[in-house]
Amino acid sequence: MNVMNEQKIEEAVKARMTAGTNEVIKMRGDKVTVHYGEKQALFDVDILIRENQVTALIGPSGCGKSTFLRSLNRMNDTIAGCRVGGKITLDNEDIYDRAIDVVELRARVGMVFQKPNPFPKSIYENVAYGPRIHGLTRSKADLDEVVEKSLQKAALWNEVKDRLHDAGTGLSGGQQQRLCIARAIAVSPEVILMDEPCSALDPIATARVEELIDELKQNYTIVIVTHSMQQAARVSQRTAMFHLGYLVEEGPTEKMFTNPDEKRTQDYITGRFG
């Protein structure tokens, strides 16, 4: 074991103590603020993201869910005029520190978007692209293996193994979204951010992706934005409720859906506003 690993273990132990349970804190937000120019979109968000759990971000349109999600892998950096304040850590490391390589960060904290967005390339190339640019494989055989494993983990391999060189864009919507998940997985992320990953999918494809999310949590930490209360209840272990840029409350999903502390959460999940 090298020093780096020992340090990581020590950090994990510390993070576990912070959670006060047997859970490890993978990411943490402290007083996170986000501005778009003059407009403040997020106010002092304090949150713990637990390892190997699915955290659902819920709340009415415009409350800041996507803004917060994007701050977790610095996707907001790509938006002109957007400023992030406070502190966000990954394994206790400040992801906004100057020393952080943003490309590497986005490999560790991958993202799947609302609309499936495969590259206009083959199924194989969609998955191989990331490992190739990050230099993660040494040979064609290595790369073939990563592509196959990633497609298997994304529950897509059986459907595409005989047409790996066909266009990714030729797949159905649900298959395209699983391809995008395979593409995110291919660079061995630790956290996967999903911004309404099922909103463009039919109920069958949605069920498929939800099942997949449940399996993926064994190996990854997942944060998902969803407008569907059923989906949040089905796939997540923790739920965070946002309203008007504030984190209203965060807690075990079961409690949030049966006995939340805040009236606003109760009103939102029972469809009284939003």
Ligand X SMILES: Nc1ncnc2c1ncn2[C@@H]1O[C@H](COP(=O)(O)OP(=O)(O)OP(=O)(O)O)[C@@H](O)[C@H]1O
Q: Is 75 in the site for ligand X (CB under 6 A)?
A: no
Kindly state the smallest distance separating residue 34's Cβ from ligand X, in Å.
8
Kindly indicate which of the ranges 63-71, 95-103, 116-124, 265-273 contains the residues binding ligand X, using the contact rule CB under 6 A. Answer: 63-71
Q: Is 119 in the site for ligand X (CB under 6 A)?
A: no
Q: Is 36 in the site for ligand X (CB under 6 A)?
A: yes
Structure-token pair, residue 126: 């969609």
Kindly indicate which of the ranges 35-43, 139-147, 178-186, 231-239 contains the residues binding ligand X, using the contact rule CB under 6 A. Answer: 35-43
Q: Give residues with Cβ within 8 angstroms of 41, minimum separation 6.
A: 34, 35, 64, 67, 245
Q: Is 67 in the site for ligand X (CB under 6 A)?
A: yes
Q: Is 208 in the site for ligand X (CB under 6 A)?
A: no
Which of 118/245 has CB closer to ligand X? Answer: 245
- Is residue 262 within 8 A of residue 248, CB to CB? The reply is yes
Q: Is 66 in the site for ligand X (CB under 6 A)?
A: yes
Kindly state the smallest distance separating residue 264's Cβ from ligand X, in Å.
14
Q: Is 86 in the site for ligand X (CB under 6 A)?
A: no
Q: Is 206 in the site for ligand X (CB under 6 A)?
A: no
Which of 124/268 has CB closer to ligand X? Answer: 268
Kindly indicate which of the ranges 46-54, 61-69, 84-92, 145-153 contains the residues binding ligand X, using the contact rule CB under 6 A. Answer: 61-69
Structure-token pair, residue 148: 């196959």
Structure-token pair, residue 102: 């943003």
- Is residue 200 within 8 A of residue 115, CB to CB? The reply is yes
Kindly indicate which of the ranges 57-65, 162-170, 178-186, 247-255 contains the residues binding ligand X, using the contact rule CB under 6 A. Answer: 57-65
- Is residue 167 within 8 A of residue 121, CB to CB? The reply is yes
The residue ranges of DSSP E strands in 119-200, in sequence order, are 191-195
Structure-token pair, residue 223: 């944060």
**Residue 21 phi, psi dihedral angles, 5° rounding:** -145, -160
Kindly indicate which of the ranges 5-13, 22-30, 62-70, 265-273 contains the residues binding ligand X, using the contact rule CB under 6 A. Answer: 62-70
- Is residue 192 within 8 A of residue 221, CB to CB? The reply is yes
Which of 123/269 has CB closer to ligand X? Answer: 269
Q: Is 61 in the site for ligand X (CB under 6 A)?
A: yes
Kindly state the smallest distance separating residue 220's Cβ from ligand X, in Å.
22
Separation of CA 210 from chain center: 13
Measuring CA to CA, which residue among 86, 58, 89, 53 is closest to residue 72? 89
Terminal-to-terminal C-alpha distance of the chain: 50
- Is residue 29 within 8 A of residue 46, CB to CB? The reply is yes
Give the interface with ligand X as residue ranges (CB under 6 A).
Answer: 36, 39, 41, 59, 61-67, 79
